[in-house]
Amino acid sequence: MRVGLIILILGTVHISLAQKEYAHKVLKTLCSDYFAGRGYVDNGVDKAASYIINELKMYDIGSFPNHSYAQNYSFDVNTFPTEILVQLDNKQLIAGKNYLLNSNSGKSVGTYRPIDIHLKSLEKDLKNAVKSYGFSAILIFKADENISKDSLRLFRSAAIEATNYFPVIWLSKAKLMYSVGRSTLKNAFVTIQSSSYKTPQKIKLNIINKFIKDFSNKNIIGFIPGKKKKKYIVLTGHYDHLGKMGQAIFPGANDNASGVAMLLSLAKYFQIHKPKYTMVFIFFSGEEAGLEGSKYFVKHPFFELNRVKFLLNIDILGSASEGITAVNGTVHKKQFKRLTKLNKKGSFLPTINKRGPTQNSDHYYFSQTGVPSFFVYSMGNCKNYHDINDKAENTSLDNFDQVMNLFIHFLNKV
């Protein structure tokens, strides 16, 4: 008995190490410079799609019957494919560290005289800007301390409106977080960290955007037939990220190469251990652009959505050292109770929190059609999000194997 127990324990440790080792490999690959942040510059998102398809083929995970792996669709994006410049007098700021562009920024190239704009004298300052300097000015929007949220919203709206006539700099103490642009302003809108800004005599910009109409995207779908073929378990996660902003790259390890690593690891597992229900693995693009991939799939599904027994969406799994949160846990009480019971029995994670419905990940459009869904994200020491520091080396994947084993137990019991 003791020998058998030792063999079982060693076998479990080996499987766990293999899970995490493979996950780290996926993470490092997808976050490498070759994939350019899995966005819309240098074919980043398309390269990532090809990588995922190759991984599915390598582990003999098929495409959905009568379909290819890829579901093609498109949407418009605004990009910054060439090196950008923001220079205060002789000091060149660092893209992604000292400043970010509003992702909808337009072209602004030249040397400008800064004009301060204050909320309390907004109308007067704008009139003086036009009167004194015309279109050679750049407007510096300085939010006063301790202003209300409504006032801040009004001030920012004025700053966006001002880009119809001037380039704009918005000074902020908040964390810099990038996004995907879907339209184009007439001029650049630059957010600079307040600590990086000292009032200059002149500001030099070299910002050139490229708006792409109908950028080609694809969702990737894998398929593993189960013992019961009429009902499906669907696992989802997005593989796209923010891509590049000029020379700055947003690798997207926590968000969401970590989720891709989990989906591929689960696909590998269930390909070897035949599942009870047929399993569909969907890797979405377009999540960062507004859930475009999942929205398209729900409108053009490969199967009748009422066949889905349960959907598990995994988005942000960089570190589960403190556990996980299940969105829709308050809605699907039976499934949440089962998840927590399995966690307690297996001692997998410190805690599992539950939340109500949200609209911020790829489960949303499925939930809107009545598909029972959880969106799971991790809680732990990995806080990088929509920034240049969301790198593989900063992403520990704490408790990755424990989360995976919990998911396996849950999906076998759901």
Residue pLDDT, tens place only, 109-158: 999 999 999 998 999 999 888 887 666 899 999 876 678 889 999 999 99
Same domain, yes or no, for 370 and 239? yes
Q: Is residue 5 part of a domain?
A: no
Q: Is residue 13 part of a domain?
A: no
Angle between helices 2-30 and 44-58 (to 10 degrees): 150
Same domain, yes or no, for 224 and 364? yes
Q: Indicate if the pLDDT at residue 83 is higher than 80.
A: yes
Average pLDDT value for the chain = 94
Q: Indicate if the pLDDT at residue 16 is higher than 70.
A: no
| 313, 237 contact by CB (below 8 A) | yes
- CA dist 119 and 399 (Å) reads 48
For residue 79, with 0-12 CB atoms within 10 Å meaning exposed, 13-18 middle and 19 or more buried, which class applies? buried
Range of the domain at 317: 21-77+213-413
Residue pLDDT, tens place only, 327-342: 999 999 999 999 999 9
Q: What is the pLDDT of residue 132?
A: 73
Same domain, yes or no, for 96 and 59? no
Q: What is the pLDDT of residue 8?
A: 37
Same domain, yes or no, for 73 and 90? no
The number of folded domains in the chain is 2
Question: Can you tell me the mean pLDDT for 219-239?
Answer: 96
Same domain, yes or no, for 299 and 329? yes
- As given in the structure block, the two tokens for residue 368 are 């809107």
Q: Is residue 4 part of a domain?
A: no
Of 177, 207, 237, the domain-final residue: 207
Same domain, yes or no, for 287 and 386? yes
Same domain, yes or no, for 345 and 384? yes
Q: Is residue 2 part of a domain?
A: no
Q: Is residue 10 part of a domain?
A: no
Question: Can you tell me the mean pLDDT for 93-105?
Answer: 98
Q: In the structure, what pLDDT confidence band is assigned to residue 354 with cuts at 50, 70 and 90?
A: very high
Q: In the structure, what pLDDT confidence band is assigned to residue 17 with cuts at 50, 70 and 90?
A: very low
Q: Indicate if the pLDDT at residue 7 is higher than 70.
A: no
Question: Percentage of residues in the chain with pLDDT exceeding 70?
Answer: 94
Q: Indicate if the pLDDT at residue 292 is higher than 80.
A: yes
Q: Is residue 398 part of a domain?
A: yes
Full DSSP string of 208-250 = --EEEEEEEEEEEEEEE--SEEEEEEEEEEE----EEETTEEE
Residue pLDDT, tens place only, 47-68: 999 999 999 999 999 999 999 9
> Can you give the CATH number for the domain in which 398 is found?
3.40.630.10
For residue 150, with 0-12 CB atoms within 10 Å meaning exposed, 13-18 middle and 19 or more buried, which class applies? exposed
Q: Is residue 12 part of a domain?
A: no
Q: What is the pLDDT of residue 221?
A: 98
Same domain, yes or no, for 260 and 348? yes
Same domain, yes or no, for 342 and 272? yes
